[in-house]
Amino acid sequence: MAEHPEGQMTCIAITEPGPPTVLVPEQRAIPRPSPGEVVIRVAAAGVNYPDVLQRQGRYAVPPDASDLPGLEVAGTVAAIGRDVRNLKIGDAVCALTHGGGYAEYCRAPIEQCLPIPADITMSEAATLPEVYFTIWFNLAIQGDLLNARRLLVHGGSGGIGSAAIQLASALGIEVFTTASSEKDCAFCRALGASVAINYREEDFVTVVMEKTDGQGVDLILDIVGGDYIQRNIDCLAQKGRLVNLYYLQGSKVAVDMMPVLVKNLVLTGSLLRPQPLAVKAAIGAGLVDKVWPLFESGKIKPVVNERFPLEDAAEAHALMEDRKHSGKIVLETAYGRGLQNKA
């Protein structure tokens, strides 16, 4: 690129664990693809909570991963490694990365590269891989979403929550969700939630049990943990499934496990990043088969709250930590902004 020394790119590095200000632009060599990989010229990168945890020093980066934050990108294929046959230079893709997404170029395994759904912009596409790989694996594969009648999503206005609401609603599942304000509840209802509960004013267990005539919900997606664990168990239906993605309020709690026996419950959870490549390939295939057509038909849509230039990653993280946004936050490179101007 003309503005850099040849072979160099701008990326966002974490100088030390700390607040958003530790995210700083840095010059590094453009990565080269290993066999089975491509290098993507990044138009946009999604911002996710694991990026925040990594910046804070609370997220262990795998030894074979990039030390740069960023787990999802969209852009065009710039270089191809050996044994890559289904992609060519110039192809538009979105990808789940092994770190390194906050950069102008990023490596990704071909199994984690997906086509961009029709009529979806690069910035919108950059918000899809991490969220939809996560919810498809946890809800559809682990949680048997397709056989659920009712789903409860905690944190419905966030990136994961807003996607889960849309997907489940599009599949004909009745969606309950929790949010922190009436504004966020209205946002969730607009996405397809049948019941949105302001958890600051109402007890979600009471509301769920009242709205379901005491039956409860079949599936719960939770990132909160803490005292929500017991309360989730209490409002699960017979043979219900609780899927935890994280424990923002703590993972060490006293829980009465008797309802697990009485109601034949399943308590599960997972981290996406350590999953084998074959598992991620299967998730990607499921998304292209079952979920991408929902984007192309307009039944679901990306929800982008705010866009920032790549160099302003610190501001993007400050917004995410404030937790007052609805939907996803995106970083855009100069290349990505140029593509938008051409459009």
Per DSSP bridges, beta strands 23-29 and 8-14 are antiparallel
Q: Are residues 15 and 83 in the same domain?
A: yes
Q: Is the pLDDT of residue 40 over 90?
A: yes
pLDDT at 137: 96
What average pLDDT does this structure show over 18-30? 98
Q: Which of 226, 248, 269 is the last residue of a domain?
A: 269
Q: Are residues 109 and 50 in the same domain?
A: yes
Q: Are residues 121 and 159 in the same domain?
A: no
pLDDT digits 0-9 by tens, 179-232: 999 999 999 999 999 999 999 999 999 999 999 999 999 999 999 999 999 999
What proportion of the chain, given as a percentage, has pLDDT over 70? 98
Is residue 164, in this structure, part of any structural domain at all?
yes
pLDDT digits 0-9 by tens, 245-261: 999 899 999 999 999 99
User: Which band of pLDDT confidence, cut at 50, 70 and 90, is reported for residue 341?
Assistant: low
Distance CA 202, CA 212 (A): 16
Domain hosting residue 18, numbered range: 8-128+302-342
Is residue 142, in this structure, part of any structural domain at all?
yes
Distance CA 290, CA 37 (A): 25
What average pLDDT does this structure show over 313-341? 90
Is residue 1, in this structure, part of any structural domain at all?
no
What average pLDDT does this structure show over 86-112? 97
Q: Is the pLDDT of residue 330 over 60?
A: yes
pLDDT at 3: 58
User: Which band of pLDDT confidence, cut at 50, 70 and 90, is reported for residue 339?
Assistant: confident
What average pLDDT does this structure show over 107-132? 96
Q: Which of 254, 269, 284 is the last residue of a domain?
A: 269
User: CB of 130 within 8 A of CB of 72?
Assistant: yes
User: Which band of pLDDT confidence, cut at 50, 70 and 90, is reported for residue 1?
Assistant: very low
The sign of the CA dihedral 285, 291, 297, 303 is negative
pLDDT at 343: 52
Q: Are residues 30 and 85 in the same domain?
A: yes
Q: Are residues 235 and 222 in the same domain?
A: yes
Model pTM score: 0.92
Q: How far is CA 222 from CA 131, 246, 307, 314, in A?
A: 14, 7, 26, 27
User: Which band of pLDDT confidence, cut at 50, 70 and 90, is reported for residue 2?
Assistant: very low
pLDDT digits 0-9 by tens, 271-324: 898 899 999 999 999 999 999 999 999 999 999 989 999 999 999 999 999 877
State the CATH number of the domain containing residue 34. Answer: 3.90.180.10
For residues 212-225, one letter each, b for 16 or more C-beta atoms within 10 angstroms of the residue's C-beta and e for the rest, the string is beebbbbbbbbbbb
pLDDT at 59: 86
Distance CA 336, CA 103 (A): 12
Q: Are residues 121 and 151 in the same domain?
A: no
pLDDT digits 0-9 by tens, 217-245: 999 999 999 999 999 999 999 999 999 99
Q: Are residues 123 and 202 in the same domain?
A: no
Distance CA 144, CA 139 (A): 6
For residues 172-185, one letter each, b for 16 or more C-beta atoms within 10 angstroms of the residue's C-beta and e for the rest, the string is ebbbbbbbbeeebb
Q: Is the pLDDT of residue 160 over 80?
A: yes
What's the alpha-carbon Rg for the chain, to the nearest Å? 20
Q: Are residues 136 and 120 in the same domain?
A: no
What proportion of the chain, given as a percentage, has pLDDT over 90? 89
Is residue 253, in this structure, part of any structural domain at all?
yes
Is residue 2, in this structure, part of any structural domain at all?
no
Mean pLDDT value across the chain: 95
Q: Are residues 117 and 157 in the same domain?
A: no
Q: Are residues 82 and 150 in the same domain?
A: no
Domain count, the chain: 2
User: CB of 220 within 8 A of CB of 232?
Assistant: yes
Q: Are residues 103 and 26 in the same domain?
A: yes
Q: Helix (H, G, I), strand (E, B), or coil: what is residue 149?
A: coil
User: Which band of pLDDT confidence, cut at 50, 70 and 90, is reported for residue 4?
Assistant: confident
Query: DSSP string spanning 171-230?
Result: TT-EEEEEESSHHHHHHHHHHT-SEEEETTTS-HHHHHHHHTTT--EEEEEES--TTHHH
Is residue 290, in this structure, part of any structural domain at all?
no
State the CATH number of the domain containing residue 187. Answer: 3.40.50.720
pLDDT digits 0-9 by tens, 55-85: 999 988 898 999 999 999 999 999 999 999 8
Q: Which of 269, 290, 325 is the last residue of a domain?
A: 269
What average pLDDT does this structure show over 125-143? 96
Q: Are residues 105 and 201 in the same domain?
A: no
Is residue 274, in this structure, part of any structural domain at all?
no
Amino acid at 246: Y
Is residue 333, in this structure, part of any structural domain at all?
yes
What average pLDDT does this structure show over 148-157? 96
